[in-house]
Structure 1
Amino acid sequence: MSEEFDRGLELRRAMFGPEGAEKQLEAATDFTRPMQEWVTKQCFGEAWQRPVFDRKTRSLLTLAMLVAMGRSHEVKIHTRGAIANGVSKEEIRELLMHSIIYCGIPMAVDGFRSASEVLKDLGLEA
């Protein structure tokens, strides 16, 4: 497709494994394929590849924004990606603790619930 698409697919694979990379594209329908290709190219091939912030920092920023928006499903996906990008369980917890003040208790509790589910799946939480 393009250099940006290839870089994006490589990053999606590194962060989310085949389930979040190739399988997302393979499962795309005629209706959703343009969106999947655009996300791969623009989000992961461009925005995530910009200089200044490393992947770990981008993961923390992304999680914070997703918690603030109450996007539970995306918090789960990006918790998995954050772990792959070197974010520790303790750093995720502190991000969520900090979100209590700036996002409110309901958003933070939902973020904790979503992140805990993924951490448990990854064997990082009892």
Structure 2
Amino acid sequence: MSERYDKGMEVRRAVLGNDHVDRAELAKTPFDAPFQEMITETAWGTLWASDTISKRDRSLITLALLAAGGHWDEVAMHIRATANTGATPAEVREAFMHVAIYAGVPAANHALKIAKATYAEMGVEI
């Protein structure tokens, strides 16, 4: 693997947690391995590895974009990642309020519903 892949795996584990990454790695097959390698190198090894903006800010941007795009499974995953990135529930709520104005109330409403359920699963009081 490349240096970017190694850095990406390090960052991916720091953000999403070892349990999540271990499950994803165990589920990887020859069919999706090239895709997993690509996202580890690009999303995690390039974008998330950059220190231009904080992991907290990246987390909030990512959540807003995922909600705006209706990528609900990823919203829950990145809500769980806030435990590692430092984004607070209040900041996540504000990001979703931006989604309401700029991408639509239904998307923000559903993202807030997912956030509430995910925080409850995490034992985070909101």
* TM-score, normalised via structure 1 length: 0.91
Counterpart of 2:22 in structure 1 is: 22
Counterpart of 1:122 in structure 2 is: 122
Instruction: Give 1:55's aligned amino acid.
Output: K
Counterpart of 2:107 in structure 1 is: 107
**Alignment check: 8 A CA contact 2:79 2:115 kept:** yes
| Match status 1:79 vs 2:83 | no
Instruction: Give 2:86's aligned amino acid.
Output: G
Number of residue pairs aligned between Structure 1 and Structure 2:
126
Instruction: Give 2:118's aligned amino acid.
Output: V
**Alignment check: 8 A CA contact 1:8 1:40 kept:** yes
| Match status 1:12 vs 2:12 | yes
Give the CA deviation at 1:82: 2.5
Counterpart of 1:92 in structure 2 is: 92
Give the CA deviation at 1:37: 1.3
> RMSD of the TM alignment (CA)?
1.5
Deviation digits for residues 45-66 of structure 1, max 9, x if unmatched?
1111124211111111111111
Counterpart of 1:40 in structure 2 is: 40
Deviation digits for residues 12-50 of structure 1, max 9, x if unmatched?
111222232232122101111111111111110111112
- Unmatched runs of 5 consecutive residues or more in structure 2: none
Among all aligned residue pairs of Structure 1 and Structure 2, give the percentage whose two residues are the same amino acid: 37
Query: CA separation in 2, counterparts of 1:82 and 1:33?
Result: 26
**Alignment check: 8 A CA contact 2:64 2:98 kept:** no
**Alignment check: 8 A CA contact 1:64 1:99 kept:** yes
Query: CA separation in 2, counterparts of 1:12 and 1:32?
Result: 17
Instruction: Give 1:15's aligned amino acid.
Output: V
* TM-score, normalised via structure 2 length: 0.91
**Alignment check: 8 A CA contact 2:96 2:111 kept:** yes
- Unmatched runs of 5 consecutive residues or more in structure 1: none
Counterpart of 1:70 in structure 2 is: 70
Query: CA separation in 1, counterparts of 2:75 and 2:93?
Result: 13
